[in-house]
Amino acid sequence: MAAGNDKRSRSTRPVKPENSALADELRHRLKGKPTQAGFSRSWIREAGSFIWDCIRIVIVFVLCVCFVFGGFGAGMLLGYASTTRPLSIGDLTSAEESQTSFVYDSEGNVMAKLTGSENVDRVFVSYSDVRHTYIDEAIIAVEDERFYTHSGIDLKRIGSAVLSAIAHGGKATYGGSTITQQTVKLISGQDEHSTSRKVQEWFSAMSLEQDLSKDEILELYINLAPMGNNYVGIQAAAQNYFGKDARDLTLPECALIAGLPKSPSYYNPLRETGRRNALRRMRIILGMMHDQNKITDEEYQNALNTEVVFKSRNTKSTTINSYFTEYVISEVISDLAKARGISKNLAASLVYNRGYHIYSTMEKPVQDILDHAFQSQTLFQTKPSALASYPEKPNGSMVVINVKTGAIAAMQGGYGPKTMNLSLNRAVSTYRNPGSSIKPLIDYGPALELGIIAPGTMVNDRKVYLDPNNPKRAWPVNYERNYAGAMTIRHALAKSRNTIAAEVWWKVGGETALWYLKQVGIDRTSEGAYPSQSVGGFSKGMTTLEMAAAYATFACGGTYTAPYGYTKVLDSDGKLVIEAKPIKYRVYSKETCFLLTDILKDVVTSGWIRHYGGQIKNGKGKQVDAAGKTGTTSDNNDKWFCGFTSYYAAAVWYGYDNRLKQTKIPKTDFYNAGRIWEYCMQRIHKDKPATSFKKPATVVKVSYCKNSGLYPNSICKDKKTIHSDYFVKGSYLIPREDKPCKYHTAPTPGPTKAPQPTPAEGASQ
């Protein structure tokens, strides 16, 4: 019967060992008797056994160590691999040729066309256009001999590089990166020297090899490789070094260009020493091409005997882009690179060559007004003859922010016609000290928000000694070099008294003041806090864009919006590439903004700017409330006017570039920043309805004595010293009836003199 069908019952009761089945089997197999005791062994055998046990322990220990550290290393590799960011290459090779990109204004009208040919720094060229040249053979010969056989990384090349480093004291004579790895770096922009980055680069290279063909990888490389002098790609190099297209390059020219990416500055063909270095490297590359059988003996000799003629093609674009257009392009490139994890060079190539549609925030009517103003000599040179001996002419910049959206409506980066692309944009690239225009941002705004002051708070304009490095010297001093005594905060800010501003800054606290400044987009916290910041003295100044956006915070009720110049970017198929998502957050309360704005209205209505128009009037003569602040550096090198209405905020900087020497603004031009601001803002608001700044219900008007700042008594009324100003409801700063003015008090009655007797009366007595 089969075992499986054995139905006999089986006992689970334990049995003695000698009665077990195993014992029966052993007895059945054993024959004879043992010849010696099991424990009887010689000392040699015992010693050998001991040594063998030790060896086994060592082996196990080594294996454990290898396992632990090997596992740790494998874990590290897996960790680095898992954190490798996938390369965004969806549209890198989708187009066979360059496509024109367009920039639109806020109404959807074309304001600029961008083509690779207009951007001489980087011009896209397809690999098929240059395949017949020697450029690919030259690049492969010098950069990656086994390019067509490896899978992204070349283990033999890496090993050789390591041995080279060992042989040369830790410095390899050549790198171990393949063309694919270099392309990964050109795509990602990551060139950090660390183990994690190198491992991630390996995985990215192998991944790229899976996604693209060798020719496609080579096409990316020849279009992204740095060629010196800000030129990117072989087409830009060919045009600017040899005056021809890449498809017309000769063998020696290909070899020279192939050698540039190793060290573009060292092999710079536009410098004499760099040209000699480049020619030497060219001959080395020709030798490598010959040794690798990429060129024949005859081709090699002919190339060595051919003189390389350097000649730059006149590739200057006939289209000059505006400051606004260039700013928008730079922002799109920067944001695209960040969003997709690619290099700025690659992002720029996409923007210029992939037919993108960039929708900007530029408001053409506003921009036209700025353009006209910055062509007007009378606004920049009040007396041109006085500047005849100056080493340079005055310049300026202006930015206008739409208060409702926080978007940049218009921008001007320099006086006069713009004659070249990528010239200095003073609105975003020039940092100048702001003078007193910083006071609302770092002194009075924070103090009002913290409840330290109110417009009617009384202060004393007197000598102060606030310079910690020179405590015996009066500092700061007022621009007029005098002191006016008791006054209100309103008057101190409107008249720009430096002494009061510095004292308010001390009450706020330097670090707190810098924190508030950072909240409105001007981060100078790295400088640390020091008193001169209270009156505009910074190690790093401000840009016109920063100041315009900061003042816009007050115009829109305390919410800061990071300025932006575009809303979205679409590709040639209409798909969204990137969208602007401006950062917005509240910095100040509506009460603070109203109080500060109401004070800054006084600057426009009672300051010198009133002589150039004062408050804004629309086309119907109705008032559009405006507020603003002047700014002058102590050396008179910089003049500012920053202000706003309910519609727009604008900042103007006026001065000299100081490329040759520090140039002081002449007195005849002291007011030009305000004149430019007023000229533009009057015209910008021509068709805007009349408007005034709205007072929150939580702000109340309270009377006080202008001599003491306290609740007025009857004598204050008789002396006509009663003024009124705005306070936040419930603030402890509001003058209280139970604490009346002590400056004006009723005269205390003196003792009454007793009448003296007359002589007659004395005689009668």
Cis preceding linkage at 476, omega within 30: yes
Higher local confidence (pLDDT), 349 or 105: 105
Higher local confidence (pLDDT), 133 or 125: 133
**Does domain 120-304 sit in CATH 1.10.3810.10?**
yes
Burial degree of 363 (CB within 10 A; 0-12, 13-18, 19+): buried
Count of residues in the chain: 765
What pLDDT, on the 0 to 100 scale, is given for residue 31? 46
In order of 55, 142, 727, the CA distances from 451 in angstroms are 80, 69, 10
Encoded tokens for 507: 């009450």
What pLDDT, on the 0 to 100 scale, is given for residue 450? 97
Q: How far apart are CA 528 and CA 530, in angstroms?
A: 7
Placement of tokens 């490095």 in the chain: 469
Q: Which of 200-209, 391-400, 523-532, 720-729 has the lowest mean pLDDT?
A: 200-209
CATH topology for the 435-539 domain: Beta-lactamase (3.40.710)
What pLDDT, on the 0 to 100 scale, is given for residue 124? 83
What pLDDT, on the 0 to 100 scale, is given for residue 3? 42
Contacts of 464 (CB under 8 A, 6+ apart): 474, 475, 476, 499, 502, 503
Q: How far apart are CA 419 and CA 441, in angstroms?
A: 36
Q: How far apart are CA 764 and CA 208, in angstroms?
A: 134
Q: Which of 60-64, 241-245, 523-527, 631-635 has the lowest mean pLDDT?
A: 60-64
- For the chain, the domains span 120-304, 435-539, 697-748
What pLDDT, on the 0 to 100 scale, is given for residue 659? 87
What pLDDT, on the 0 to 100 scale, is given for residue 317? 57
In whole numbers, what is the pLDDT of the chain averaged over residues?
Answer: 85
Please give, one letter per residue, the 3-state secondary structure of 301-369. HHHHCCCCCCCCCCCCCCCCCCHHHHHHHHHHHHHHHHHHCCCHHHHHHHHHHECCEEEECCCHHHHHH
Q: How far apart are CA 120 and CA 230, in angstroms?
A: 10
Per the rule left: phi > 0, alpha: psi between -120 and 50, beta: everything else, 390 is beta
Residue type, 278: A
**Counts of helices then strands in the chain (DSSP H, E):** 27, 18
pLDDT band at 761 (very low <50, low <70, confident <90, very high): very low
According to DSSP, residue 374 is labeled: T
Residue closest to 669 by CA, chosen among 384, 369, 372, 370: 384
% of the chain with per-residue pLDDT over 90:
63
pLDDT band at 442 (very low <50, low <70, confident <90, very high): very high
Higher local confidence (pLDDT), 433 or 345: 433
HSE value, Cβ hemisphere, 13 Å, CA-based, for 193: 1
Higher local confidence (pLDDT), 761 or 685: 685
Residue closest to 454 by CA, chosen among 353, 621, 554, 594: 594
Other beta carbons less than 10 A from residue 104's beta carbon: 18
Encoded tokens for 57: 């322990």
φ, ψ dihedrals at 461, nearest 5°: -85, 105
Q: How far apart are CA 152 and CA 155, in angstroms?
A: 10
Instruction: Judge whether 156 and 146 are in contact, CB under 8 Å.
Output: yes
Higher local confidence (pLDDT), 568 or 121: 568
- In DSSP notation, 141-164 reads HHH-TTTTTSSS--HHHHHHHHHH
Residue closest to 247 by CA, chosen among 284, 222, 226: 222
Q: How far apart are CA 362 and CA 108, in angstroms?
A: 10
Encoded tokens for 485: 């005594």
pLDDT at 748 over 80: no
**What's the pLDDT tens digit per position in 562-598?**
999 999 999 988 999 999 999 999 999 999 999 999 9
Residue closest to 660 by CA, chosen among 391, 387, 425, 388: 391
According to DSSP, residue 441 is labeled: I
pLDDT at 443 over 80: yes
Placement of tokens 């670090």 in the chain: 511
Axis-axis angle for helices 214-224, 135-143 (nearest 10): 90
Please give, one letter per residue, the 3-state secondary structure of 535-572. HCCCCCCECHHHHHHHHHHHHCCCEEECCECEEEEECC
φ, ψ dihedrals at 680, nearest 5°: -70, -45
Q: How far apart are CA 606 and CA 335, in angstroms?
A: 44
Mapped onto helix, strand or coil, the DSSP state of residue 721 is coil
Q: What are the beta bridge partners of residue 723?
A: 704
Instruction: Judge whether 453 and 488 are in contact, CB under 8 Å.
Output: no
Instruction: Judge whether 85 and 198 are in contact, CB under 8 Å.
Output: no
Most confident of 24-33, 434-443, 731-740: 434-443
pLDDT at 315 over 90: no
pLDDT band at 103 (very low <50, low <70, confident <90, very high): very high
Higher local confidence (pLDDT), 119 or 221: 221
**What's the pLDDT tens digit per position in 694-709?**
999 999 999 999 888 9
Mapped onto helix, strand or coil, the DSSP state of residue 475 is strand
What pLDDT, on the 0 to 100 scale, is given for residue 451? 97
Encoded tokens for 169: 């004291």
**What's the pLDDT tens digit per position in 471-483?**
999 999 998 899 9
pLDDT band at 332 (very low <50, low <70, confident <90, very high): very high
φ, ψ dihedrals at 506, nearest 5°: -60, -40
What pLDDT, on the 0 to 100 scale, is given for residue 422? 86
Q: What are the E-state strand segments in 88-160?
A: 101-104, 110-114
Average pLDDT over residues 30-50: 56
pLDDT band at 21 (very low <50, low <70, confident <90, very high): very low
Per the rule left: phi > 0, alpha: psi between -120 and 50, beta: everything else, 583 is beta
% of the chain with per-residue pLDDT over 70:
79
pLDDT band at 197 (very low <50, low <70, confident <90, very high): low
> Distance between terminal CA atoms of the chain?
172
Average pLDDT over residues 236-257: 95
**What's the pLDDT tens digit per position in 489-548?**
999 999 999 999 999 999 999 999 999 999 999 999 999 999 999 999 999 999 999 999
What pLDDT, on the 0 to 100 scale, is given for residue 4? 42
What pLDDT, on the 0 to 100 scale, is given for residue 25? 46
Other beta carbons less than 10 A from residue 215's beta carbon: 15
